[in-house]
Structure 1
Amino acid sequence: MGDRLTQLQDAVDQLAQQFVACIYFNSRHHDLDKLGTSDAIRELKPEEQRGDVEPIPPEEFKSGQLELARDLIYKEQQIEYLITTLPGIDNSEEDQEQYIKELEEELKVAEAQFQEASKEKDTILAKLDEIIQSIRRP
């Protein structure tokens, strides 16, 4: 589950970065047209111009917006998929508690097997040590 949560967090972080990229693209490459009849574009003196806006052709601007929108939709779908794969989405609290109990029982069995294997390992190592010691003594 931790891996899924990490993937989900990474995807959300990437989505936030994509939002910033969209805002940057739109603010940097828009044209300087008026939105309404009462709007006026202020003429900047050469020393005031910072070059913040670099208009691009309308077709290229729309194409860039479309590509960014597709990327956002794709990332959102990826996030939705990751959310649906998280455990417990369709389970009630009782189901989750039962599943946890089952996992605890499996853990107890695995720990008992580990303890048994560890004892067997110690026994075998002791026998091996005896054999090695007997070989050295001639």
Structure 2
Amino acid sequence: MGKQVAIYGLLLAVGTLALQWLDYQRMARVHAGAIYDFLLAAGFLALGLWIGARVLGRRVAAPAFDGNPRALAELGISPREVAVLREIAAGHSNKQIAANLHVSPNTVKTHVARLFEKLGARRRTEALRKARELGLVP
């Protein structure tokens, strides 16, 4: 009984495969123009992606920003104060800076106050202007 079921299943599979092949042949004849259009579009898409990758892949990376180490040394600005200054330049509040640097808001206030002293500024905008003039922040 199992052998007959296997043969019957095999015959059904071969018949289904033959019908699918005939249906594919008919579709290929009826829609030949659409298939050619699709293949042409796919070719141009692949060519465009390849050319784009080649052109855009050759960009020269900008040099790393060093933060003017000479001015940092002359002013006595610590690396943590530089980090706070960059956060200020990004427009973050003291709470956000504290969260980003994993310190307390009071520590951030202390760093900001010392930055103001070292840069001779009274407010954040003035400190940022002077830091940009000195090349401390991009």
* Smaller-chain TM-score bracket: 0.3 to 0.5
In our comparison, the structure showing a higher alpha carbon Rg is: 2
Which of the pair has the greater relative contact order for Cα pairs under 8 Å at 6+ separation? 1
Structure with the largest fraction of helix: 2
